[in-house]
């Protein structure tokens, strides 16, 4: 197992994490930003106003991206299993 192999595997691992978690994080960030701007403009300081819309937006994104996320994870796992013979050398 070479250093290049470990670096490549780590790079693929982190890229998969970004692909899987990215859409949820981006939507949560955007919804939070929009709600914060709304709260600043109207001077409404209700804590549940930020929580509930984020929860709904995240649920929608998870529902819409689940097939794609599963495909990304299966591809990563297959590539990982295909690398097993390279580890033995």
Structural domains counted in the chain: 1
Q: What is the pLDDT of residue 59?
A: 95
Q: Check pLDDT > 80 for residue 78.
A: yes
Q: What is the pLDDT of residue 50?
A: 82
Q: What is the pLDDT of residue 31?
A: 94
Q: What is the pLDDT of residue 89?
A: 63
- pLDDT tens across 7-55, in order? 988 999 999 999 999 999 999 999 999 998 988 888 887 777 888 899 9
Q: Which domain holds residue 34?
A: 3-88
CB 81 within 8 A of CB 87: no
DSSP annotation of 45 reads: -
* Lookup: tokens for 27: 């939507």
DSSP annotation of 83 reads: T
Average pLDDT for 52-69: 94
């Amino acid at each position: 197992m070479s250093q290049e192999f470990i670096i490549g595997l780590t790079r693929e691992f982190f890229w998969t994490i970004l692909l899987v978690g990215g859409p949820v994080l981006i939507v949560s960030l955007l919804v939070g930003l929009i709600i914060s701007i709304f709260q600043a403009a109207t001077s409404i300081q209700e804590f549940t106003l930020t929580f509930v819309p984020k929860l709904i937006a995240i649920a929608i994104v998870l529902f819409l991206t689940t097939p794609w996320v599963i495909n990304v994870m299966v591809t990563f796992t297959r590539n990982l299993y295909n690398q097993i013979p390279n580890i033995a050398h």
